[in-house]
Structure 1
Amino acid sequence: MEKLTTIREQLEEHLRKHGMTINRFADLSGVNSGTLSNILNGNRPISMQQLDRITSGMGLPDGYFYDLYIDECIFHATPDWRRLGPFLLRCAELDKLDCLDRAIRMTMDNVAYAPMLFDMAETLFQEGKNEAAAILYQCVAESEKFQHSERLALCQYRLFMLSLSEDQEANLQAAVSFEPYIDRLDEGYQLDAYVKLINVNLSLNRWNKVKNLAEKMLQQAMVLYKYNKSSSPTKTKEHKKPLVFYILYAYLSIENYYSEEMDFEKALHYVSLYHEPDWIIEKNEEEREILEQFKEWAVANRYLYRLMAGDVDVLPEYVDYVAERESEIFTAVCNIMIVANLHKLDVDHILDRFGNYLTYKEQKYHIAKASNQVTLSRFTKLLSELGIYYLNSSRFEKGIEYILESLKSCIAINSSNGMLRCMGIFEQFRHLATDEAQRQYKNLVSEVQKLNDKKIGLSISYL
């Protein structure tokens, strides 16, 4: 039997097989009988609404004819946005992303569609249909002729945001791909883009990049803040947060760089810049809340740098301070374990007190939710620091257990540096590991090898 290759042929066969008249099918489907007759005679293109009604009238699942519709009404016909637009939205609604991608790529020679595809991507992005939006952004970016256009930059920014995940290697690639476009973004998006880039690089421990991005954000935010104070409010751009947030966050980020460099004098200098800034005048309620949050961070970080520098007597004050501020406890415990291992401190009593905070969970502050990438990175580091702490105090079984948990977490987020660190520590104490721990380690190493094979592209045998 000859294969039925068009929607019209399949509709004709359905009517013949069921002995159904056009009028009867019109009643079932809700499509006008005259319209159906014109469609069957090839005198009228099928609209999206008509296609869905015909599909339903034939008792077929939603989207059944979409592949054929692409060939008949998009590829072999002059594309018409009145048909194409609703079709793309319906594909996104039904999660038929392969059809969405095919249809777009067949029409991208017509650059006139780029603005409409971009607007549709923005709509889908706002509705949380991220995969469909990403396909549209990618196609618009590829077709954009004006390489310095704001639309291209915004497409790249959306793609960057949508591609962020728990995978650190993928996040690195996303950050590297997006960064060249940040200066081309519209002013209203630029500062938030800097914050997101800083957070990704912070989670990857790319401290030089953190400092570089923070300095650029600081310069831009300062210029805008001074301009806004001397301009009419109607002439200024809206930002997601008040400008003071970006300035203070830049100080905090640069401080983190100097902290990692163990230059506590410079780190404390930047703490002083966001502790109680006196250049902010006529504060509104949102700005006051931001200032209060940064003040809390400043006090906590002053305690931390005294600890890091060897003033261990301040530890009880630090613990009591964060204990009254639940949103600060997780970060403080991470820092305390680093200090404990650095100065060989006994912090069992602190671990007992904050035992509920030794598990991964989303971190929220008064003014925002912490970056998921940063939280995951900190949690993985916390597990390894706990392992080192227990190994240093000769509690080998517990220490090795935490090192294996850290290795498992490193594999989950694809952190190469973290995996190497954990494997190095385990090998150092392998002779003290139980048979069960060694079995777990062997299985985890196999997972590491699989990840490495994916990066290489293929496994090479030397035998």
Structure 2
Amino acid sequence: MEHTPTIRSKIETELKQRGYSFSSFSKISGINRGTFSAMLNSNPPKPISVRQMDLITKALGYPEGWLYELYIEECFYEGKGHWKRIKPFLLRCVELGRQDFIQKVLSRLTEDLSYVPTIFSLAEELHAEGKEKESVPFYECVVENEKYYHSERLAISQYRLFSYSLNKDLENNRQLAIKFAPFRKNLPENHQLDALLKLANVYFQVHDCETVIQYAKELGVLATNIYQQQIQTKLKKREVKPLNTERHLIVYYGQAYLLQGSAFEKQGLYEKAMEFIPYYANLAGLEGMNEIGMFEARRLQLFANANRLSLEILMGNMTNLSGYVELIKNNPPEILHGLLTIMESANTYKYSIDDVLTLFAENINDFRDLRTNITYYHNNYNLVIYSRFFLELSRYYFNKGNYSEAIDSMLNSLKASSQLSDKAYYIKSITLLFEKYKDHSTLEQRAEYEKVLKEVEYNIKQMTS
């Protein structure tokens, strides 16, 4: 029967082959001679720390991680897990990116489910240090092994994995939201606020307005309750504990109403959408507002003013068009969204906005120049707005008989939608539009159209394979 080497037998073999004594090896490794001897000769032997193992590896000239496979047994000496050895070993494996050893240790650990809370604590430590990617295997381990379905631990782990996995693929995000949503109410209130806002935004991007409204309502109720609890705490002259959320509390309250209004706007119910504006237009007077809260209140007020004007324009009331143009002109981050609103209204009510397009020609050209680097719009919201704007601009130019500009704009829209994997909502509309006006396109435009369609087909195959 072949003898299975241990970490100690491996070290002893190396020492003998190289002619090292404990004394001589102690000098080159930096490990005390007595300590080194106790590791190999004591009965029972003195445990080897991760740092000592790394010093031995370096002294023998081997690459980092050389003894790690054997060190796993050191972590489970006599069949029991020893967390004081396991934790430093796992952290070192995290540093070296050794997912294989991490999975082996976690597999051994979870033979005893009492370790699940300990693994969760380590995942939270990594998260707090900004090591999101590195914490994933630990949260996944908790999800796979937590025996209490309604535990806060499981809910937080599911929330972390949901948050980390959101990307530009809207269908991916929708599936993640479906998987995570049942756990949201088991989260602590601070995490619930962030989770509900993320869920509402995911469904807003996939145009599921009913679900947006559902989560936005939940968000509004929760934010209101927390605010009222804080007021009561202050009245009792007690200290209000920090909420520990990603944003100020006022953001969740304001976004709850802003998102509901936006969902109704997306459905074309502009008068209904208008009803939500007063709820987030004047929040600066709320009690307990600090500097950050006042900043967020001013931002929400700006959104309220912009949305009010936007809705009026979408309803065909062009009285305040010049005021709206001035507003977006003075707020560059809002230019793209503002121009989309104006384009949609112009296409619906059939009026000319050539003067507006001339005024913002430089901005539009800057947007158009990003056709080869559309990922500049790194989040889904901006990509969606980008795609919608160029689709509406394309329709506007087609209606005016400016086919070259129309097809160029349509190609910008198609490219953005393909990167979002937003096939259902936009790509069908864009392809139908192109086929309708195909005879007006140049050879170069047709070639680019075919190229982007191949990218779309490739993305679909990747998602379904």
The interval holding the TM-score normalised by the smaller chain is 0.7 to 0.9
Aligned match of 1:435: 443
After superposition, give the CA deviation of every residue in 1:204-255 in whole Å (9 maximum; x if it has no partner).
2221111110111111222222232223443666253443332221110110
Aligned match of 2:416: 409
Secondary structure at the counterpart of residue 79 of structure 1: coil
Secondary structure at the counterpart of residue 166 of structure 1: coil
Identity rate, percent: 31
CA contact (8 A) 1:46 1:73 kept: no
Aligned match of 2:59: 57
Aligned match of 1:352: 361
Residues 440 and 13 of structure 1: CA distance in aligned 2, closer, same or farther (over 3 Å) = farther
Q: Distance in 2 between the 1:64 and 1:391 partners?
A: 66
Aligned match of 1:461: none
In the alignment, does 2:297 pair up with 1:291?
yes
CA RMSD in angstroms comes to: 2.8
- Is 41-50 or 314-323 further displaced after alignment? 41-50
In the alignment, does 2:459 pair up with 1:451?
yes
Aligned match of 2:229: 227
What is the TM-score of this pair, normalised by structure 1? 0.88
Residues 20 and 283 of structure 1: CA distance in aligned 2, closer, same or farther (over 3 Å) = closer
In the alignment, does 2:255 pair up with 1:249?
yes
Aligned with residue 82 of structure 1, among 81, 84, 91: 84
Secondary structure at the counterpart of residue 312 of structure 1: coil
Residues 309 and 17 of structure 1: CA distance in aligned 2, closer, same or farther (over 3 Å) = same
Opposite residue 449 of structure 1, the aligned amino acid is E
Aligned positions of 1:318-333 closer than 5 A: 318-333=324-339
Residues 277 and 11 of structure 1: CA distance in aligned 2, closer, same or farther (over 3 Å) = closer
Aligned match of 2:171: 169
Q: Distance in 2 between the 1:250 and 1:355 partners?
A: 31
CA contact (8 A) 1:92 1:129 kept: no
CA contact (8 A) 2:384 2:416 kept: no
What is the TM-score of this pair, normalised by structure 2? 0.87
Aligned positions of 1:382-393 closer than 5 A: 382-393=389-400
Secondary structure at the counterpart of residue 270 of structure 1: coil
CA contact (8 A) 1:108 1:143 kept: yes
Q: Distance in 2 between the 1:407 and 1:6 partners?
A: 60
Aligned positions of 1:117-266 closer than 5 A: 117-232=119-234, 233-234=238-239, 238-240=243-245, 241-266=247-272
Residues 342 and 9 of structure 1: CA distance in aligned 2, closer, same or farther (over 3 Å) = farther
Aligned match of 2:27: 27
Q: Which runs of 5+ in 2 are unaligned?
A: none
How many residues align? The count is: 449
Secondary structure at the counterpart of residue 280 of structure 1: coil
Secondary structure at the counterpart of residue 209 of structure 1: helix
Opposite residue 28 of structure 1, the aligned amino acid is I
Secondary structure at the counterpart of residue 150 of structure 2: coil
Q: CA deviation at 1:7?
A: 3.7
Q: Distance in 2 between the 1:375 and 1:115 partners?
A: 39
Residues 5 and 390 of structure 1: CA distance in aligned 2, closer, same or farther (over 3 Å) = farther
Q: Distance in 2 between the 1:262 and 1:226 partners?
A: 34
Opposite residue 360 of structure 2, the aligned amino acid is L
Residues 354 and 439 of structure 1: CA distance in aligned 2, closer, same or farther (over 3 Å) = closer
Opposite residue 250 of structure 2, the aligned amino acid is V
Residues 445 and 296 of structure 1: CA distance in aligned 2, closer, same or farther (over 3 Å) = same
Residues 199 and 34 of structure 1: CA distance in aligned 2, closer, same or farther (over 3 Å) = same
Residues 16 and 283 of structure 1: CA distance in aligned 2, closer, same or farther (over 3 Å) = closer
Aligned match of 2:308: 302
Secondary structure at the counterpart of residue 113 of structure 1: helix
- Is 157-166 or 351-360 further displaced after alignment? 351-360
Q: Distance in 2 between the 1:65 and 1:121 partners?
A: 25
Opposite residue 385 of structure 2, the aligned amino acid is R
Q: Distance in 2 between the 1:383 and 1:100 partners?
A: 47
